[in-house]
């Protein structure tokens, strides 16, 4: 089985930087996703990391360390609209199906 752990809730200030961590335990790791989900809406794809290192995409960056079973999502220049749940998900064992963590609810306040 897989075990994915991320904080339940985080708060941050508009304009600041926030880092959302995700740790996982799995065998046959293939890759790690980050999704954003606003309340009552569908998850939307943010990133997919396969190799170690940092991948930057605008205000959002995602980091992966395969040896440590660790990833983080970095959000810069926070905006109120970034208030959402951020889901970490892992693909492993050659499966096409990602396993999702419980999500981190991010609250951005003025």
Partner 1 sequence: GAGVSQTPSNKVTEKGKYVELRCDPISGHTALYWYRQSLGQGPEFLIYFQGTGAADDSGLPNDRFFAVRPEGSVSTLKIQRTERGDSAVYLCASSAQQGDNEQFFGPGTRLTVL
Residue 45 binds partner 1 (CB under 8 A): yes
56 contacts 72 by C-beta, under 8 angstroms: no
Q: Which is nearer to partner 1, 17 or 87 (CB)?
A: 87
Q: Which is nearer to partner 1, 41 or 77 (CB)?
A: 41
Is residue 23 a contact point for partner 1 (CB under 8 A)? no
Nearer to partner 1, 4 or 12 (CB): 4
Q: Contacts with partner 1 in 63-102 (CB under 8 A)?
A: 87, 89, 91, 95-102
Cα angle for residues 14, 90, 74 (degrees, 5° grid): 20
CA distances for 36 relative to 16, 28, 41, 73, 94, angstroms: 18, 25, 10, 11, 24
């Amino acid at each position: 089985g897989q075990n994915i752990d991320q904080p339940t809730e985080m708060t941050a200030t508009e304009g600041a930087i926030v880092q959302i961590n995700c740790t996982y335990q799995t065998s046959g790791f293939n890759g790690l996703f980050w999704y954003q989900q606003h309340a009552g809406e569908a998850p939307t794809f943010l990133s997919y990391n396969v190799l170690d290192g940092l991948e930057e995409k605008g205000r959002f960056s995602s980091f992966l360390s395969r040896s440590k079973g660790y990833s983080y999502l970095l959000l810069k220049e926070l905006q109120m609209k970034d208030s959402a749940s951020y889901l970490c998900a892992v693909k492993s064992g050659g499966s096409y199906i990602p396993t999702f963590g419980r999500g981190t609810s991010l609250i951005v306040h003025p």
